[in-house]
Chain A
Amino acid sequence: SQQGEEDPQALSIQEGENATMNCSYKTSINNLQWYRQNSGRGLVHLILIRSNEREKHSGRLRVTLDTSKKSSSLLITASRAADTASYFCGETSGSRLTFGEGTQLTVNP
């Protein structure tokens, strides 16, 4: 990818469980963003964390950022079947917005 790696590549859980996805990035960032994509559609912005922040919450989402390890994680708590989608972290550096490989999350009802 143009960015780094995300793991896991695929994650299958039961409704109500928590889902954790990780991504690593390569360069110095301005901020890092997480997006979701339903099959065959555009991306929807979920949450942004700035390079000087370490943790951020939004509803059932929790994002962490470790700039020393160049990694970020996205936690979705109390997952729902409607959370089934691909999740990507987007790295903003300079004037570029690039994405990792993504995690395909399947939440089984």
Chain B
Amino acid sequence: GAVVSQHPSRVICKSGTSVKIECRSLDFQATTMFWYRQFPKQSLMLMATSNEGSKATYEQGVEKDKFLINHASLTLSTLTVTSAHPEDSSFYICSAAGQGHGWSEAFFGQGTRLTVV
């Protein structure tokens, strides 16, 4: 299957700082990228869906000013957690779908473990 690289895999930051997570599709053009948040032993909660070159569509209850998503190219999307607080600590996962695969088959990054202290 296609490869999606997510970076960093782990990050620890101080409360009040911002953290950027990158998601890259390495061997295909991702027209759609999804960002999820996962708490321990729970399912993935969709945060937002982004299409290349357009604004992300956020799920109900997700603060767009807190979780900034940029999908500036067909191979890169970023999620920035602004003014992070301990309650933002979680596992964040991106996935990408695109040309040649049909958006319905999504490929996932390895996830980012964010700890806010």
Contact = CB atoms under 8 A, between A and B. Distances in A.
A interface, by DSSP: helix, strand, loop or mixed?
A: strand
Interface in B92-106: 93, 95, 97, 103-106
A58 B1 CA distance: 15
Interface in B1-35: 1, 4, 6, 32, 34
A17 to B, nearest CB: 24
Contacts of A96: 46, 49
Given A45-B106, A48-B104, A48-B105, A99 B43 contact: yes
B67 to A, nearest CB: 16
Contacts of A42: 4, 6, 93, 95, 108-111
Interface of A: 1-3, 30-31, 33, 35, 40-45, 48, 88, 90, 92, 95-102, 104
